[in-house]
Structure 1
């Protein structure tokens, strides 16, 4: 077997990409950095890229038997209520089988980001055969109550048993819940995990079948539109990330401004329409953004026995709204208290009885 190159894609445009070359036995043969302005192109070899995990939603789903297309369709259907973006904007990738009766690893990521990451790697002079989010480079802990944490840039990648997410440091406690967070700070341990991921990626976001889709290619117009769209999972609300995808924004700024002007004419009059669109996408109450609101809500609902989070909707103009199903009317008092402790206020907009359960529609805002 030949060596494999692993590249860490940075979170922001213009930054260099750290890389290492891994031998077939997992040993590191070379370490270095690839820069966009390097004249000499890297040596051709099998390459695996690691992308920012904050831009990818990871789930484990029970799926029926079937081929690749059938599995992706089944996964997309299962996640249909978790997507604020339209299905044609995202790719659904299903991992390999873990055994009979075991849930399948499923990843969801925007097509625009996949294209931006591909463009970045091409600008470096490399072509990656596989792309894996950073949190899936960490091995699952043996302890079901533990979560391993590794820093990637300004974010922390968390990995537990059938749990994987990358978040900002101030959201770790909310997202981890009752799990014990075990930081991994030893560089050699992290390097061994990355080497293992290079040799055997847990999932490949560049899966060709998942990227097949019909319809016209929107280029940066599609990416700019994602600035106001969000991808929701019951664990975490993750911005589809085009809003902060400087990688493509700086390179195609003219097209971005044109697309923004068509979608939101009022923003076109701003001195920096791109920044204005980003502020609008992040301005939904409460003050921590929709990501913090949904993370806090999930934690509060999880603490109430029998309560379920049925639906979450978020947008730059409407804030965060959700529908909860719970056994008793008094359950909302406990949820309200936990949200208040997180600095957020819950307003019940509708409540009804449904087959012996209580269904509550709520909105989340800043605590007075």
Structure 2
């Protein structure tokens, strides 16, 4: 294995780019800065460039169909079509390697113009990138599922959690991370080790999107930098980051809920959706106080709605308490449901129809969740 050059692409054109040369054993042979259009040109070697992650949208997708690289990219782009602020011909989509059976695939999306502009900027430094990786993907996933690693790159903060990666402004970190624990990494040597690991084994390469046409890229670097928000995904970056965080939180809450269902009702744990099964059981289960209390509560609630009547009231061991109500308007059930909820009973409307100018509703009465 030969030495690798790692270059950090700055957020603004014209700025110098920090770099280091990584030895085959992972040690750092040299550190410095590359300036655009410098007289002395760097030696040729494999080059890994780290780009600003705020301009890259990262996702994890399940159930991508089998196929070649082009087919995977097309499938991922189609899945993400509603989340992008640009048409598919203006963005480059890259799918990471599989990490195991039935595991979601890492997908990164970047504007074609920015990708070409970054390549042009690197050429202005005298280097040609073999790999371009966003800064947040140079960080390893934390071992703690509730933790998010945070590293500052320039004026932005790169965040990496379990199946989550985003780069945001410092004042947005708390909103994006939510209740998860932020693990701030400020030790420069620890950050450098992460960069070295990424240089030797990058998790994704934005150049795999096939967007290697550099014609005019150097000229367009400044323009692309100024128009980044119009070129790419950036208008929805924050939304995507928050959605990813909420999705992770929802998965964690659902896991906890399923465990609670299994503990409370082991027979429901075998259901395809244990949580929904428990809700159905709660809805149909006898309400507090049994049939007598349900009947008394229902009579009281119906009596408070002018013109409403109880046509039938039945109770069975399996289905709990059910009733058929007749009332003048469609909105009457909202008032009856509210009054029942106030005393701890849940009303579920199972059917509603209009008959001879009146509304007839079939309901079930259970304990309020």
Any gaps of 5 or more consecutive residues in structure 1? 239-290, 306-368
CA distance in 2: counterparts of 1:34 and 1:175, whole angstroms = 33
CA distance in 1: counterparts of 2:165 and 2:120, whole angstroms = 26
1:83 aligns with 2:55: no
CA distance in 2: counterparts of 1:50 and 1:296, whole angstroms = 23
Deviation at 1:237?
2.3
Pairwise mapping of residues 271-290 of structure 1 onto structure 2 (< 5 A)?
Answer: none
With normalisation by structure 1, the TM-score equals 0.61
Deviations 1:78-104 (CA, angstroms, capped at 9, x unpaired) = 101111211100000001111111111
1:191 aligns with 2:197: no
2:345 aligns with: none
1:29 aligns with: 29
Q: In the superposition, relative to structure 1, how do residues 301 and 118 fare at CA in structure 2: closer, same or farther (>3 Å)? A: closer
CA distance in 1: counterparts of 2:67 and 2:132, whole angstroms = 23
Q: Secondary structure at the match of 2:77?
A: helix
2:201 aligns with: 200
Q: Secondary structure at the match of 1:126?
A: coil
CA distance in 1: counterparts of 2:2 and 2:245, whole angstroms = 46
1:17 aligns with: 17
CA distance in 2: counterparts of 1:105 and 1:149, whole angstroms = 19
With normalisation by structure 2, the TM-score equals 0.61
Residues 85, 236 of structure 2: 8 Å contact kept: no
Q: Secondary structure at the match of 2:82?
A: helix
CA distance in 2: counterparts of 1:67 and 1:296, whole angstroms = 31
- Which structure has the larger Rg? 2
2:156 aligns with: 155
Residues 230, 237 of structure 1: 8 Å contact kept: no
- Between stretches 162-171 and 77-86, larger displacement belongs to 77-86
Any gaps of 5 or more consecutive residues in structure 2? 252-369
Deviation at 1:211?
2.4
1:231 aligns with 2:233: yes
CA distance in 1: counterparts of 2:54 and 2:193, whole angstroms = 22
Q: In the superposition, relative to structure 1, how do residues 230 and 124 fare at CA in structure 2: closer, same or farther (>3 Å)? A: closer
Deviation at 1:297?
8.4
Residues 4, 47 of structure 1: 8 Å contact kept: yes
Q: In the superposition, relative to structure 1, how do residues 226 and 26 fare at CA in structure 2: closer, same or farther (>3 Å)? A: closer
Aligned positions, number: 245
Deviation at 1:13?
1.1
Q: In the superposition, relative to structure 1, how do residues 31 and 229 fare at CA in structure 2: closer, same or farther (>3 Å)? A: closer
Deviations 1:277-331 (CA, angstroms, capped at 9, x unpaired) = xxxxxxxxxxxxxx5x7877887999899xxxxxxxxxxxxxxxxxxxxxxxxxx
CA distance in 1: counterparts of 2:74 and 2:58, whole angstroms = 16
Q: In the superposition, relative to structure 1, how do residues 31 and 107 fare at CA in structure 2: closer, same or farther (>3 Å)? A: same
Residues 93, 210 of structure 1: 8 Å contact kept: no
1:59 aligns with: 59
CA distance in 2: counterparts of 1:153 and 1:166, whole angstroms = 11
Q: In the superposition, relative to structure 1, how do residues 191 and 229 fare at CA in structure 2: closer, same or farther (>3 Å)? A: closer
Residues 19, 34 of structure 2: 8 Å contact kept: yes
CA distance in 1: counterparts of 2:177 and 2:160, whole angstroms = 10
Residues 174, 299 of structure 1: 8 Å contact kept: no
2:146 aligns with: 145
CA distance in 2: counterparts of 1:296 and 1:95, whole angstroms = 22
2:286 aligns with: none
Deviations 1:251-286 (CA, angstroms, capped at 9, x unpaired) = xxxxxxxxxxxxxxxxxxxxxxxxxxxxxxxxxxxx
Q: In the superposition, relative to structure 1, how do residues 101 and 91 fare at CA in structure 2: closer, same or farther (>3 Å)? A: same
* C-alpha RMSD over aligned residues: 2.9
Pairwise mapping of residues 1-368 of structure 1 onto structure 2 (< 5 A)?
Answer: 1-62=1-62, 63-207=64-208, 209-211=209-211, 220=220, 223=224, 227-228=229-230, 231=233, 237-238=236-237, 291=238
Q: Secondary structure at the match of 1:211?
A: coil
